[in-house]
Amino acid sequence: MSGCRDWLAHLVLGLGAALFLLPIWLAFCAATLDPAAIDRGELSLVPRLDHLGVFLEVLRHGGPGVGPVWRMLAVSAAMALAIALGKIAISILSAYAVVFFRFPFRRTAFWIIFVTLMLPVEVRIIPTYAVMADLHFIDTFQGLTVPLIASATATLLFRQTFVAIPDELLEAARMDGAGPLRFLWDVVLPVSAANLAALFVILFVYGWNQYLWPLLAATSPRLDTVVIGIVKMIGIDTSTEWNKVMATAVLALVPPVLVVVGLQRWFVKGLTEGEK
Amino acid sequence: MTADLVLEGVHKSYGQSAVLHGIDLALAAGEMLVIVGASGCGKSTLLRLVAGLESLTAGRVLLAGQDITARDPAARDIAMVFQNYALYPHMSVFDNMAYGLRIRGRSRSEIARRVEETAALLGLGELLARKPRQLSGGQRQRVAMGRAIVREPKLFLFDEPLSNLDAKLRVSMRAEIRRLQRRLGVTSLYVTHDQVEAMTLGDRLLVLHQGRAVQLATPMEVFERPADSYVAGFIGAPAMNFLSATLLPGGGGADLGPLGRLEFADGPRPGPAGRRLTLGIRPEHVALDPAGIPFTVDLVEPLGSETVLIGRLPQGEMLALKRAGGPPPAETLAIVLPPAQFHVFDAASGLRLDPARAAG
């Protein structure tokens, strides 16, 4: 009975995996085809292994309208890292304040943070742009990242983690002589390490996939992220070199996948482990 | 002996509700004082006030002659053992014990020496590299004590440290805490709701009831001369039996109604005739006597070397008695209540009434 169920479970899992992998495989194969073949709609499920050089070529030289892909990957990585780490730093501090300190309007502060969940970048994009313009942040790396850093989601997640830390641990640390920053660094952060890693994965992928804000905030090619680059390569008037677009798209998938795979043990632990 | 820890008029209220109504206390150096009371009596709050984890509404706390009322917990030179151990889960046993010393900026070699000495004292030498989750409950409790001992504080606070352990371990840890505290000679406050712990551990007991100190005395004095009917019922297992009575003219005895009259063995009590009394007698003092009052057994609790019988007197009063040996031969027994064993309390205030001469 259980053997049969196992078999069925594996079949469903396999089908699901195939469903997710198919578009990626298609993109990979398309990258190795002739541009003209794709224009004619002749998609193949068999890659042409003699054309694998296209990946190196876009990495080094880019395509029509954009610089080398390695540069755009670097910009994307820097942006995603800055957003993920910035969000984590700010969220930890605000969650720490809300959970462990008694100050006037603590609940109000928490609810104001909560309400910003309803104000993603897309909703506040025009005022945000105006603020960034006043700060002369347009077309700079700060302009690309800072507006995306404030994060209610991460604050809420950390709040839940911190609330679960037993009061006695705080009291023991106070008796031991740890001040607030020492307690944060020596106890709270190590105890929440798994949640931290899980959140880093989510936020890195979130930062990596940003499209709308980078499109607005950075116009110079030196700040092109790889997501922007892919769109720029799809020309409107000129003929598009689809193989290069596909190659770039496949390359753009690699870093987030590496982050997820690298941290997956922590990721699962952080999302499933309840008791501290 | 000089007083080491002194509490003066300690009050604590949360908003409108008062939790502690003025506690005065003085501990001699090296003394172990056990604070005992039912849950919600304010005993843990009192401990946390001494620790500095809560602030006093009024009053003062002095330790070794210095007023520490307003000091931060870390600056009080006090160590505390928590009920659920409160070990840092991500740190090894060594790091858990060393943490307080590291924060105080002790040298690496001094920390290593002190932690190892303390670990040896507690039999934790083999476990220093382990994480708390790899330890048993008893071992965790030892580490929590080690963390307190290693700091060599002026005062130990114990907040029901044994209540998470199983019964057998509790007994052995109880003895160990007593042995360690004597050996180290550190003044200690120990909070518990368990009267056996209170009786066995304390040099003196403080019985708290609804935020007031009801009695402060040695364990045997609390047992033999409870200050009021609450203490009398709280200390001792099974609990003391209580009977209603009124004072006879002259104060030399009490009228127990249908149960007859009782001559006080130790002298007359003060007060007008007819004063309402509560008479208490411990279950172990109720004796079997064929010529006595009939007693119908409802419940038999054999404890091995002795047996507790719970039953009724002819008028329906519940009574417990303890006798050596196994269950009784019959369901109806005859008992006597020896006059010398009675404790006399005022029914209205609950306060103990001593013979007029001794009280005067």
Instruction: Give yes or no for residue B216 having a pLDDT over 50.
Output: yes
Contact A168 B90 (CB under 8 A): no
Average pLDDT over residues B340-359: 84
Contact A171 B100 (CB under 8 A): no
Average pLDDT over residues B193-214: 93
Residues A104, A134, single domain; the answer is yes
Interface membership of B84 toward A (CB under 8 Å): yes
Identify which has the larger pLDDT, B271 or A96: A96
Q: What is the 3-state secondary structure (H, E, C) of chain A?
A: CHHHHHHHHHHHHHHHHHHHHHHHHHHHHHHCCCHHHHHCCCCCCCCCHHHCHHHHHHHHHCCCCCCCHHHHHHHHHHHHHHHHHHHHHHHHHHHHHHHHCCCCCHHHHHHHHHHHHHCCCCCCHHHHHHHHHHCCCCCCHHHHHHHHHCCHHHHHHHHHHHHCCCHHHHHHHHHHCCCHHHHHHHHHHHHCHHHHHHHHHHHHHHHHCCCHHHHHHCCCHHHCCHHHHHHHHCCCCCCCCHHHHHHHHHHHHHHHHHHHHHCHHHHHHHHHCCCC
Domain total for chain A? 2
Residues A32, A86, single domain; the answer is no
Residues A164, A236, single domain; the answer is yes
- Residue that the structure tokens 């003219």 belong to: B249
Q: Which two tokens stand for residue B286?
A: 């109720």
Check residue B209 and give its pLDDT.
Answer: 93
Residues A86, A172, single domain; the answer is yes
pLDDT digits (tens, 9 = 90+) for B1-38: 467 899 999 999 998 899 999 999 999 999 999 999 98
CB pairs under 8 A between A and B: 61
In sequence order, what are the beta bridge partners of B263?
B253
Residues A138, A63, single domain; the answer is yes
| pLDDT band with cut points at 50, 70 and 90 for residue B260 | confident
Residues A122, A44, single domain; the answer is no
Spatial distance between the Cα atoms of A65 and A67, rounded to a whole number of angstroms: 7
Nearest-CA distance from A186 to chain B in Å?
A: 9
**Total H helices, total E strands in chain B:** 9, 19
The ipTM is 0.82
pLDDT digits (tens, 9 = 90+) for B73-85: 989 999 999 998 8
Q: Give chain A positions within 8 Å (CB) of B85.
A: 168
Instruction: Give yes or no for residue B315 having a pLDDT over 90.
Output: no
Tell me, what CATH number does A206's domain have?
1.10.3720.10
The residue among A32, A51, A70 that closes a domain is A51
Q: Which of A166, A175, A187 sits opposite B73 (nearest CB)?
A: A175
What does pLDDT average to in each consecutive run of 10 residues of chain A (276 residues)?
A: 77 94 90 80 80 86 83 94 94 93 89 86 88 91 88 88 91 91 93 88 92 88 89 76 88 92 82 54
Instruction: Give yes or no for residue B307 having a pLDDT over 80.
Output: yes
Residue B85 — left, alpha, or beta (φ > 0 → left; ψ -120 to 50 → alpha)? Answer: left
Max mean pLDDT among A207-221, B95-109, B323-337 falls in B95-109
Which contiguous run of DSSP H or E holds residue B297? strand B287-302
Residues A127, A176, single domain; the answer is yes
Residues A146, A229, single domain; the answer is yes
Interface membership of B71 toward A (CB under 8 Å): no
Smallest CA–CA distance from A276 into chain B, residue: B89
Check residue A85 and give its pLDDT.
Answer: 95
Domains recognised in chain B with CATH numbers:
5-232 (3.40.50.300), 239-359 (2.40.50.140)
The residue among A51, A73, A90 that closes a domain is A51
| pLDDT band with cut points at 50, 70 and 90 for residue B360 | very low
Spatial distance between the Cα atoms of A27 and A49, rounded to a whole number of angstroms: 14
Q: Give chain A positions within 8 Å (CB) of B90.
A: 187, 190-191, 193
Check residue B1 and give its pLDDT.
Answer: 45
Residues A236, A163, single domain; the answer is yes
Distances (CA, A) of A30 to A34, A42, B97, B318: 8, 9, 62, 91
Spatial distance between the Cα atoms of B195 and B233, rounded to a whole number of angstroms: 11
Residues A41, A57, single domain; the answer is no
- CA-based nearest residue to B244, from B319, B336, B150: B319
Instruction: Count CB neighbours of B246 within 10 A.
Output: 15
Q: Residue A239 sits in which domain range?
A: 52-272
Contact A175 B74 (CB under 8 A): yes
The residue among A13, A33, A51 that closes a domain is A51
Average pLDDT over residues B171-175: 90
Identify which has the larger pLDDT, B220 or B331: B220
Residues A260, A181, single domain; the answer is yes
Residues A132, A58, single domain; the answer is yes
Interface probe with B: pick from A176, A185, A186, most Cβ of B within 10 Å: A176
Contact B103 A169 (CB under 8 A): no
pTM of this structure = 0.81
